Homo-oligomer: A and B are copies of this chain.
Amino acid sequence: MSPLLKPIQYAEASAEVRAVYDDIMTLRRSDWINDFWKVLAHDPATLRRTWEAAKQVMAPGALDPLTKELLYIAVSATNNCDYCIYSHTAAARAKGMTDAMLTEVMAVVGLANQTNRLANGYRIPPDERFKPKS
């Protein structure tokens, strides 16, 4: 697999792109940027927008950051995103995900993908009592 656009390295990046790279490295306390951001850098507005969104959405809130990573893995496994499965599994490991937690995420993902198709396939209308009261 070769990316449609070459990753832009720090040394060749514009000031606008470097500013995002610097923010990524500062937040992560790392001197390394992964290729996802280096490819997005071809479109600096999308690079910044996506990075700011990730910072905001993945921050602690009503849910803790590890739970959010597990949700990310669940969606990425459902969508078959090679890059995102590896990168968010690594992120989840760094936040404390154990093998047992990973296998339970996958078990739920498997079950949900199965019952989603049984419910959709049989065209079962949701029971009224599941609907939110307006």
Task: List A residues at the B interface (Cβ < 8 Å).
Answer: 1-6, 32, 34-36, 39-40, 42-43, 45-46, 49-50, 52-54, 56-58, 61-63, 67-68, 70-87, 89-90, 98-127, 129-132, 134
Contact = CB atoms under 8 A, between A and B. Distances in A.
Given A79-B78, A102-B4, A57 B108 contact: yes
Nearest to A48: B56
Contact of A121 (B42, B61, B77, B116): B77
A3 B5 CA distance: 26
A75 B119 contact: no
B82 A120 contact: yes
B120 A63 contact: no
